[in-house]
Amino acid sequence: MPRYLSMIRIDEANAPAEGPSPELMQRMGELLEEMTKAGVMLDTAGLTPSSQGTRVRWEKGELTVTDGPFTESKEVVGGYAIIQAKDRAEAIEWTKRFLKVHEEHWTVTSEVREIAEG
């Protein structure tokens, strides 16, 4: 079965300063448990804020290293999930369910892409 990477993007400027609510974390935990039991969830994690990140860029034969935060970014990758699903449609359905556990004041986008197998 193909694997998919779901990159969870958030707008750090508009995310709640206190982070996810306990209710959101409970709903998320329940869904992730369901996905794990169904054999769909292979790995998932949240990421630290972009202010704690570093970008390494290769351009025109030169490397540059820039510490966060990255002011030119409106959305940043806030987490990821690696999903094993029968097809892209199933991966998207699981991703929709994940996004729906968030309260209405969150703005969350997910980019779902199939992982290229060797």
Are residues 88 and 14 in contact, defined by beta-carbon separation less than 8 angstroms? no
Q: Which of 7, 31, 20, 4 shows the shortest CA–CA distance to 80?
A: 7
Higher-pLDDT residue of 81, 70: 81
Encode pLDDT of 4-60 as tens digits: 999 999 888 788 888 889 999 999 999 999 999 999 999 999 998 888 999 999 999
Given phi > 0 = left and psi -120 to 50 = alpha, else beta, which region is 39?
A: left
pTM of the model: 0.85
Q: Is the pLDDT of residue 76 over 80?
A: yes
Degrees (nearest 5) of the Cα angle 95, 50, 44? 30
Q: Tell me: pLDDT of 73 over 80.
A: no
Better pLDDT: 41 or 66: 41
